Amino acid sequence: MNNPTIRASLAILLMILLPALAVAQDEVRITTQRVAGNIHMLQGQGGNIGLFIGPEATFLVDDQFAPLTEKILAAVKAAGGKAPDFLLNTHYHGDHTGGNENLGKGGTLILSHDNVRERLVAGSFIAAFKMKAPPQSGAALPVVTFNDEMTLHINGETVRTFHVAHAHTDGDSVVQFVNANVIHTGDLFFNGFYPFIDVQHGGSLRGMIDGVDRILALANDDTRIIPGHGPLGSRADLIAYRDMLATALQRLRALKDEGMTAAEAVAAKPLADLEAEWGDGFLAGDTWIGVVYPGVY
């Protein structure tokens, strides 16, 4: 990864994933967008937060970084909610779990897939970016974990969450608000740009596509989709994203079948025609190929 374009894109990636390298968090503003009924999307720094407010409970999906907790709680209160009763982590990355300890100490019950807790307990190191996350303990850890799926019945809503294997990571969860027709995808969906795939920790391009297909099977033209990153989306947005992933997989798998290394695949420019639409956000195409290529099969 000596290419200057790759190095620049990795720097951007690290700024998003690592709080220590991110834009000063005292400058971050949390914005709130109503999605449907009492379901909202909060955006600040890191993954998009889902917020569901009702008379019985306040439910969060993901929690960004620890220094943002007070701002997030203020946004929850401004939207009509109280201190969160439940928090579901869609996966283990720090921009989705960084506020766990703060919320856990405040009495929030944290939920996740089994593998999320295991990753947090063990700590992690993403070698490609030299990104280390220390082991977590105590209030930072999910208290309730599940293997396949789980359903909560709160505020008159059926909140269904299910595991998607080997997609963005090995512990991804999708959250469906059944009655409201809203889905929070976690990082299976980066709306409008190439997604980071944590191949080292169980993610794969094929798994991403399979996961998106499961979401599409639940969605219709009226479904509102909260992505892990990017603006609020629709089924049409998710279809376009899925088509991009499938095209990329087909082309990259063909290069791998020819015996090309990741560097050779990057040099072949197999995604050149996709770059204008998908490469101007999170990762440039050259960088993305280098990241996902080990997980192409």
Q: What is the mean pLDDT of residues 132-159?
A: 97
Do 27 and 144 form a contact (C-beta atoms < 8 A)?
no
Q: What is the mean pLDDT of residues 108-120?
A: 99
pLDDT class of 8 with cuts at 50, 70, 90: very low
pLDDT class of 127 with cuts at 50, 70, 90: confident
Domains in the chain, please, with CATH?
4-295 (3.60.15.10)
Residues near 73 by beta carbon (within 8 Å), at least 6 away in sequence? 83, 84
For the stretch 198-221, pLDDT in tens is: 999 999 999 999 999 999 999 999
Mean pLDDT of all residues belonging to the chain = 93
pLDDT of residue 12: 44
For the stretch 13-56, pLDDT in tens is: 554 455 444 456 678 999 999 999 999 999 999 999 999 999 99
For the stretch 224-282, pLDDT in tens is: 999 999 999 999 999 999 999 999 999 999 999 999 999 999 999 999 999 999 998 77
pLDDT of residue 5: 41
Question: From CA 48, how far away is CA 79, in angstroms rounded?
Answer: 16
pLDDT of residue 233: 99
Half-sphere CA count of 47, side-chain side, radius 13 A: 33
**207: which 2 tokens?**
């798994």
Half-sphere CA count of 50, side-chain side, radius 13 A: 29
pLDDT of residue 282: 75
* 162 compared with 127, residue with greater pLDDT: 162
**141: which 2 tokens?**
């850890």
Instruction: Report helix angle 4-17 to 285-292, nearest 10.
Output: 70
**Edge-to-edge strand ranges of the sheet holding 109-113:** 31-36, 39-43, 49-53, 58-61, 86-88, 109-113, 144-146
Q: Torsions phi, psi of 190, nearest 5? A: -105, 105
Query: What is this structure's pTM?
Result: 0.92
pLDDT of residue 6: 41
pLDDT of residue 26: 74
* 135 compared with 8, residue with greater pLDDT: 135
| pLDDT of 129 strictly over 80 | no
